[in-house]
Amino acid sequence: MNRIGFIGGGKMAAAIIKGIINSNWCDSKNIIVSDKNEDALNLLGKTYKINTTLSNIDVIKNSNIILFAVKPFVLKDVLNEIKPYITKEHIILSIAAGISINTIEEIVGNIPVIRIMPNTPALVNEGMSAI
């Protein structure tokens, strides 16, 4: 069973969550999101009936697929924070523009990493992504 965690709960994360739920790929009870903005988390939880937390580590511990939806300048700090909790069982997805797979692997080690570049029409369920 897929358990997907989002670190970062902004607009693009919300668009991806909506698409996942609408596609029936993953049940909302198997989605967890962390963000430092409690209001954003409350809105996501209420709108999509997903789990939310202020702790990035909770996301790692409760997910096998981790999608990083944070600003690129924050990503390295977040990766260093969660590094001790990442295992070979995790798959990392990143939508952080300009941060290479090599950069992510240098921090977390030999874990599968996939970069995804969604475009803004994803915000209205009409987007495409380069993977």
Query: What is the pLDDT averaged over residues 58-68?
Result: 97
Cα distances from 37 to residues 8, 43, 54, in angstroms, run 9, 10, 8
Dump the DSSP string for 2-33. Answer: --EEEE--SHHHHHHHHHHHHHTSS-GGGEEE
Per CATH, the number for 4-130 is: 3.40.50.720
What's the average model confidence in pLDDT over 87-103?
Answer: 93
- How do residues 29-38 score in pLDDT, each as one tens digit? 999 999 999 9
Q: Tens digit of pLDDT for each residue in 66-91?
A: 999 999 999 999 999 999 999 999 99
